[in-house]
Structure 1
């Protein structure tokens, strides 16, 4: 390991340790490497230009962020929740089931776990605690756990980022996430039912079945968005980036024209907030591009692949080992950092071991989403604490059971690749 690389890693750890944003730490550390190695700081500009402006797919990130923010600002979330209450609220642990089903539906619109938790999550927590049957910690915990499904079922911002670093088809990644997302929802609903029965949570007053058609009609335009996105991509009508633009436009028409719930001032606020969120992601992408150049210059991925080939490691052992590492890193790092900085190290090894990159990508993204609810640095736990003021201690006490069943679902995806690859293969994927 060269002195320049040691200096780079030291700077990143030092700056992150004193509380600097990880994007700034990565950028400064990478620039330090370029300066010490004699490559010249100007090279960073070329790497950024080549990476950011030649990747058309990156445009999908701000567009999905805008779509999610519009969904949260209008009455779309309320209508979806009323539909979910009528659909599954009548069963034991009804509001918990509503929470999970709402996340499953909303995940087909936002592509962001944070947008899910901060938007529809805040509303459902208030509904659960208002009934008096659920503790604040339980309502917040199941909300955080169900929000992890957001980036698994398409559209998915993390999958867009993974496609960027792995040169994998984003369309097949989106397809690969559908069944795992549904399985995550199913295990959360089963655990919610078990806990509701054990703790004696009451059954909500059922909505009359005659009311279900009316609520379905009210929510139907919003429910159409995932279908429009998937048909556009897999019907060959749009690229994933164009589908993101369609999603943003459809959300705008829905909120402003159809539901008449979006004012001009609110729309300006949405654009400003979306620009801030996109800039934060863009900074980290820029830093990761430079750092990935550093890693490639040091030939680390190829050295790692050669070392693992020498010890004759099996693909399954490698996958389990990487996922244990990612679960540990998820306790400390956010998902975007892991995807952009850590995963590129393992992609050459996956190719050498003939591990399918769609399977690896979906499993790794599920893993990083689980990391969003893993103490001590679970981003979703902090988001829900910020928007509801529920103490972190109460949320963490209740999160462990949901964390456990999600890890079991992750293990099933590792052991049985068909869970991820069945749908892509159905649509012609040959990996």
Structure 2
């Protein structure tokens, strides 16, 4: 008779490859495992409900999703884009820089790579391809690459998911993402300059400096959102979940009352879209919680830790192995599945090797985000391909230099933990 754990793994793979949601596939696989073991299948439901009800932090996810969706329908994204254009648009390959900077700013509000690519991405791709100044494939490539910054700069939905499985502080994880996110932006802009000179991309018409005060003033309400969020969290005024609620309310207030760019009909449609996105993430979390029970019952983390112990791996070798594994998994698995299923297996080993779990979390999240632009799965690649109507391989070809730049940034993030932990320690983290 086939081993129940092996049967559940095979069923999970079969259902996922067949097109079923990975969350539903995990629930089905977990239920089959429980039945084959002779356990009550209702354990799956009990585990799921306990996991959800005991995780107050999870409430931040639908609220951050709602905040991002409101910003997309309001004029906040347009004003932020105009501000970014005034700031860096005057340099060689200017709109490429605008793309990166706008993602950097927008990421301080949405916490989602997909929200960044769909919201800001549509606008900036249109600007870059207008009059043939940049090829559509290049615009798509740099948009996908810069969107990976979104979940690294706080707030970050993937960081919340990592906090769920690692029992680490969301606030310190948010702080740990600041410098790595800025580093990723810098390496992308450097690569954009190199490519701009090689391909002789145009220097865009600069917004006159006399217009800068007006552009900045109009963008101030939007720029204040990350300040309010992070100031509230690190000032002890708000928890991350409360900050997410403030973000959603502030985005609605500024869009509807200050900019007057949101109608009641648009807001209703936004609520529906946010509910659908939240349900998708919720099913994934539910599936992960039930499948974690299976993994725990089978002592997979302990077995893996013992197996790795045979090779006498040090922290550096372990982190190299983790990077290679996650980059491969990112080609075939969705980022949320990696964080919720795979990462918990390696957390005990990371602890045993003395690796700081906040630093480990940032490494895991950056790897998961790079998976979003790594073929063949590459969710962001499919999104920008849909926007630009460009063949996937053409986009991948233009993306390769940016992937190399991001891999360099990943190396620094992985092997210089003090760089990642400097800001959290400044804010009181003892790790």
What corresponds to 2:123 in structure 1?
Answer: 123
What corresponds to 1:323 in structure 2?
Answer: 323
Asked if the contact 2:27/2:44 (under 8 Å) is kept, the reply is no
Report the CA distance between 1:397 and its aligned residue.
Answer: 1.6
The answer to which of 173-182 and 32-41 deviates more is: 32-41
What corresponds to 2:190 in structure 1?
Answer: 190
RMSD across aligned positions (CA): 1.1
Distance of 2:191 and 2:387 partners within structure 1: 25
What corresponds to 2:213 in structure 1?
Answer: 213
Distance of 1:103 and 1:23 partners within structure 2: 29
Distance of 1:14 and 1:207 partners within structure 2: 54
Distance of 1:420 and 1:379 partners within structure 2: 27
Distance of 1:31 and 1:136 partners within structure 2: 46
What corresponds to 2:389 in structure 1?
Answer: 389
Residue by residue, what CA displacement relative to the aligned partner does 1:1-34 show, whole Å, maximum 9, x if unpaired?
9811011001001111222221121111111101
Distance of 2:428 and 2:77 partners within structure 1: 35
Distance of 2:277 and 2:2 partners within structure 1: 35
Distance of 1:131 and 1:174 partners within structure 2: 40
What corresponds to 2:313 in structure 1?
Answer: 313
| Matches for 1:8-23 after TM superposition, within 5 Å | 8-23=8-23
Distance of 2:134 and 2:387 partners within structure 1: 18
Report the CA distance between 1:391 and its aligned residue.
Answer: 2.6
Distance of 1:419 and 1:335 partners within structure 2: 24
TM-score computed with the length of structure 2 as normaliser: 0.99
| Matches for 1:342-357 after TM superposition, within 5 Å | 342-357=342-357
SS in 1 for 2:177: helix
Residue by residue, what CA displacement relative to the aligned partner does 1:281-309 show, whole Å, maximum 9, x if unpaired?
00010000010010001111012112223
Asked if the contact 2:137/2:388 (under 8 Å) is kept, the reply is no
Distance of 1:294 and 1:185 partners within structure 2: 39
| Matches for 1:94-133 after TM superposition, within 5 Å | 94-133=94-133
Distance of 2:232 and 2:41 partners within structure 1: 42
What corresponds to 1:405 in structure 2?
Answer: 405
| Matches for 1:332-371 after TM superposition, within 5 Å | 332-371=332-371
Distance of 2:425 and 2:103 partners within structure 1: 26
What corresponds to 2:294 in structure 1?
Answer: 294
Residue by residue, what CA displacement relative to the aligned partner does 1:128-182 show, whole Å, maximum 9, x if unpaired?
0004221000000000000000000000000000000000011000000000000
What corresponds to 1:281 in structure 2?
Answer: 281
Distance of 1:389 and 1:307 partners within structure 2: 47
* 1:239 correspondence with 2:254: no
The answer to which of 390-399 and 408-417 deviates more is: 390-399
Structure 1 runs (4+) deviating above 6 angstroms are: none
Asked if the contact 1:136/1:394 (under 8 Å) is kept, the reply is no
SS in 1 for 2:132: coil
Residue by residue, what CA displacement relative to the aligned partner does 1:285-342 show, whole Å, maximum 9, x if unpaired?
0000010010001111012112223432101100110110000000111110100011
TM-score computed with the length of structure 1 as normaliser: 0.99
What corresponds to 1:150 in structure 2?
Answer: 150
What corresponds to 2:181 in structure 1?
Answer: 181
Asked if the contact 2:63/2:244 (under 8 Å) is kept, the reply is yes
Distance of 2:248 and 2:410 partners within structure 1: 31
Report the CA distance between 1:89 and its aligned residue.
Answer: 0.4
Asked if the contact 1:137/1:394 (under 8 Å) is kept, the reply is yes
Distance of 1:324 and 1:339 partners within structure 2: 15
SS in 2 for 1:20: coil
Residue by residue, what CA displacement relative to the aligned partner does 1:358-411 show, whole Å, maximum 9, x if unpaired?
000001101110110001110001111223323323211211110111011001
Asked if the contact 1:168/1:357 (under 8 Å) is kept, the reply is yes
What corresponds to 1:250 in structure 2?
Answer: 250
Number of aligned residue pairs: give it: 431
Q: What 5-or-longer segments of structure 1 have no aligned partner?
A: none
Q: What 5-or-longer segments of structure 2 have no aligned partner?
A: none
Distance of 1:416 and 1:277 partners within structure 2: 35
Distance of 1:302 and 1:118 partners within structure 2: 41
Report the CA distance between 1:215 and its aligned residue.
Answer: 0.3
Distance of 1:114 and 1:283 partners within structure 2: 18
Distance of 1:391 and 1:69 partners within structure 2: 27
Asked if the contact 1:69/1:274 (under 8 Å) is kept, the reply is yes
Asked if the contact 2:22/2:287 (under 8 Å) is kept, the reply is no
Asked if the contact 2:173/2:358 (under 8 Å) is kept, the reply is yes
